[in-house]
Structure 1
């Protein structure tokens, strides 16, 4: 008999995903176990993955990926690199790198010594947090490196600090300022407020940093998400904008620009040459140029990416 009356569609999808990826069952076996058709079993397994109900991690280190990791570490003097297999041409790379990024973050969260963990925002960071399991890490503090208020006054969609805090039960400190303020004077006024100043100081002194890396081409996330106008992007492109991290825009050498929204960006800059871990989470052809700049200037000293991006980075040297 079908269990449709006993479980919600999401419950059934989770059960089908569990039987497939953990139990190793075929779709015919899942259909028999759940009392449903093979076609429905296939749809439920697909839904379980699409909705993030089941997380899959690769525990075997593929030799080609390990070779790329070693070469990235040597060429860019990185502290650490993780390279994940490609999902194929045209596929979204975030699902490939998110589990590896989650494992890197969990490595720090499992440390007993209290740490302050600074976090950027973006799709890759959100994917990282979504790929994590639940664990208890109340000894650590989580702090946002970037403002969490969107132009319309809403909370920034890709802010991850509160999302992560819910999974690890750690104290968390959002940056209560706009991602980009309307004027430099307003941005300064926000940062003069004692609560904001305390959070910003915590962020500047984070023991480990995880950030996404954005491109500044015509498909710049800052433009697509409504944080900069087309005219502002044009101005920064003319000044040599190559990428951005936590909203701060830099050129092809990883030097922060003294134009455009950098005069109004909330949160804190990640300074070049930090000794503590500063890990970039990014993959895709559009990320190659900003990743090169960020690694050359040591804004980031660690990287989680995929095979095609790693190969492209090494080919550009």
Structure 2
């Protein structure tokens, strides 16, 4: 063996096995013969490729039941875009279930010839969307964050996605260099008075396309789990009727932003209801259904990527 034929790593073998199975259409016996391993090892390598995200599989056929749900949601809420993916069943991760569909929506905008400003929220669903994206050249577009990317301990917010997408598509990107939530309204105002921050805010406000996650404000609120709000603050906002948040901004069951709690200290740009351009929510999970429904009612979002279980829950309510 020479320097041009190195010993393959376990990840190399798994990637090759996954490629042969999902793209090449080979059986596990054929993969075993091709790689010179046992059938059991070939099976484990294919499973590893999927588990580690080395292979991404997309469903190209739009299942009829999901299309019916898309039409029902579109009719109910007057949506400009709607994609409903098949759920992964009990115990399945809703984020994984919608990641490929969400990636397809973003890629659709990135393939457009006209230069766009694309504003992005953060969160687990948005992170899943980025991980499922295919690399492409899209340097004619600009990507801008809607929400601060500084966590309470001073670190970069783990679920910020602007820089991750920019790496994949080679597009100019504009992070929002302020805390997600500042300690006081005065500190938040001081950050927003900085000229570089003002320029990013202005870019975000005139974005041609908005893509955001939708968070619930129940006891498992992402803002609480990730350390951006305290238990006492969450209790206060729940008492005021909080059911959901978009880009860190909290709203009630009618989709009206509240003037309490962290909304007085949230960094970044609020997505205003009734935008005349796409504002697409990327969210799934029955615990999020009340928040998604509220954001749809007030048209904080006018488009949605979700799964069939969440869609049915929203429509039933």
Q: Give TM-score, length-normalised by structure 2.
A: 0.97
SS class of match (1:202): helix
Match of residue 127 from structure 2: 126
Q: Is 2:39 aligned against 1:38? A: yes
Match of residue 276 from structure 1: 277
Match of residue 237 from structure 2: 236
Work out the CA distance in 1 between the residues paired with 2:224 and 2:31.
45
> CA offsets per residue over residues 189-224 of structure 1, 9 Å max, x none?
000000001001111111001100000000000000
Match of residue 311 from structure 2: 310
SS class of match (2:219): coil
Work out the CA distance in 2 between the residues paired with 1:211 and 1:137.
20
Q: Which moved more, 1:87-96 or 1:35-44?
A: 35-44
Match of residue 293 from structure 1: 294
Q: For this pair of structures, how many residues does the alignment match?
A: 313
Work out the CA distance in 1 between the residues paired with 2:265 and 2:12.
46
Using the TM superposition, give the Cα deviation of residue 10 of structure 1 relative to its aligned residue in structure 2, in angstroms: 1.4
Match of residue 109 from structure 1: 110
Work out the CA distance in 2 between the residues paired with 1:40 and 1:240.
54
Match of residue 207 from structure 2: 206
Q: Is 2:57 aligned against 1:20? A: no
Using the TM superposition, give the Cα deviation of residue 13 of structure 1 relative to its aligned residue in structure 2, in angstroms: 1.2
Match of residue 257 from structure 2: 256
SS class of match (1:56): coil
Work out the CA distance in 2 between the residues paired with 1:34 and 1:102.
32
Q: Which runs of 5+ in 1 are unaligned?
A: none
SS class of match (1:112): coil
Work out the CA distance in 2 between the residues paired with 1:248 and 1:237.
13
Using the TM superposition, give the Cα deviation of residue 285 of structure 1 relative to its aligned residue in structure 2, in angstroms: 0.7
SS class of match (2:24): coil
SS class of match (2:268): coil
Using the TM superposition, give the Cα deviation of residue 40 of structure 1 relative to its aligned residue in structure 2, in angstroms: 2.1
Work out the CA distance in 1 between the residues paired with 2:109 and 2:178.
27
Work out the CA distance in 2 between the residues paired with 1:19 and 1:310.
35
Using the TM superposition, give the Cα deviation of residue 143 of structure 1 relative to its aligned residue in structure 2, in angstroms: 0.2
> CA offsets per residue over residues 90-149 of structure 1, 9 Å max, x none?
210111111111111111101111100000001110111111111101110000000001
Work out the CA distance in 2 between the residues paired with 1:266 and 1:51.
34
Q: Which runs of 5+ in 2 are unaligned?
A: none
> CA offsets per residue over residues 35-79 of structure 1, 9 Å max, x none?
122222222212211221111111111111111101110000000
SS class of match (2:190): helix
Instruction: Please give the residue correspondences for 1:218-229 in structure 2 after superposition, counting only pairs within 5 Å.
Output: 218-229=219-230
Q: Is 2:191 aligned against 1:190? A: yes
Match of residue 172 from structure 1: 173
Work out the CA distance in 2 between the residues paired with 1:258 and 1:301.
23
Work out the CA distance in 1 between the residues paired with 2:92 and 2:173.
33
Match of residue 89 from structure 1: 90
Using the TM superposition, give the Cα deviation of residue 27 of structure 1 relative to its aligned residue in structure 2, in angstroms: 2.0
SS class of match (2:66): helix
Q: Which moved more, 1:42-51 or 1:238-247?
A: 42-51
Using the TM superposition, give the Cα deviation of residue 5 of structure 1 relative to its aligned residue in structure 2, in angstroms: 6.7
Q: CA RMSD in A?
A: 1.1
Match of residue 50 from structure 1: 51
Work out the CA distance in 2 between the residues paired with 1:122 and 1:48.
25
